[in-house]
Amino acid sequence: MISDDAEPYQTSAVIADDHALLCDAVREASAIALDFADRGFDVREKNPGDPVTEADLAVDAALKERLMGQRPHYGWLSEESEAGSDRLKAPRTWVIDPIDGTKGFVEGNHEWVVSAALVENGRPVAAVIANPRTEQFVEAFKGGGTRLNGRVVRVTAQSALNGAKLGSSRNEQRRQLWQHLFPDAAIEVVDAIAYKIALVAIGALDGTIALRPKSDWDIAAGDLLVTEAGGVMTDADGETMIYNRPEIRKPNLVAAGQDIFPALRAALSQR
């Protein structure tokens, strides 16, 4: 678990510049995604039930061209393109999900986002999650707080499970992986994990839980958004997530405001 005694992080000019670059790149990529959503796109399946669209690939290509073009010595890790072989040795690595929530994108709903983070020494130091449909642009850099459309935001102060708003997915709802442990909470269904985590960061949800594995690109950006907004995100055992390692899959996660986080973990321990 993250220590309360950690030294304050002094944001360097390099990270501030990287964050500005990331914000610009995601704004441009979001416009590309929205254009595809409005005019149509081709879809194929990478695996059964796992679609990818030409929008995913176009957004990925645009982000890679902009980010790696400006920072060629950084690493690259994305859901939709081959990772650079040197990402583990790079000083910092871009971790990208060009469209998180592709199924929702294909269905035409508003629960998809562009998610992008910059990871240094295993932890995110700059992050953006943008939902072009709802016009929510959530961004943070380490030590600088979290902002929604330029306004500083915080996680909620909810401490009781009774009445807490917890984000889940349709799949996890159907499987009842954890929802039965929170009979007094209000379960809100949002399929894209990156978007759910961003909603925790801006205070629209009190917390979210995922007990199915996620990849670095699904959650690295949201991790920073939540922690910079005063919240906590760990795995279900309370361990801090470490990113850009040879193994990029994480078994589960809990993201919430600090006040309710202990109660969420305590309830999960009963599963």
CATH code, domain with 264: 3.40.190.80
Boundary of a domain, candidates 127, 153, 179: 153
In a domain, 8, yes or no: no
In a domain, 173, yes or no: yes
* Pair (128, 189) in one structural domain: no
* Pair (49, 112) in one structural domain: yes
Enter the pTM of the model. 0.93
Boundary of a domain, candidates 153, 174, 206: 153
Q: What is the mean pLDDT of residues 86-115?
A: 95
Q: Is the pLDDT of residue 228 over 80?
A: yes
Q: What is the pLDDT of residue 11?
A: 64
Confidence of residue 6 (pLDDT cuts 50, 70, 90): very low
The CA-atom distances, in angstroms, between 118 and each of 5, 40, 100, 209, 244 are: 24, 30, 17, 23, 10
Q: What is the pLDDT of residue 12?
A: 82
CA atoms within 13 A on the CB side of 210: 27
* Pair (148, 234) in one structural domain: no
* Pair (140, 178) in one structural domain: no
* Pair (184, 136) in one structural domain: no
Question: Which backbone phi and psi does 180 adopt, to 5 degrees?
Answer: -65, -15
How many structural domains are present in the chain? 2
Domain containing 109 equals 13-153
Confidence of residue 10 (pLDDT cuts 50, 70, 90): low
Average the pLDDT over each of 45-49, 170-174, 255-259 and give the range with the smallest value: 45-49
Q: What is the pLDDT of residues 105-143, one digit of tens each?
A: 999 999 999 999 999 999 999 999 999 999 999 999 999
* Pair (182, 217) in one structural domain: yes
**CATH number where 43 lies:** 3.30.540.10
H helical segments located in the chain: 13-39, 54-70, 102-107, 170-175, 193-201, 216-228, 261-268
H helical segments located in 72-136: 102-107
Q: What is the pLDDT of residue 33?
A: 97
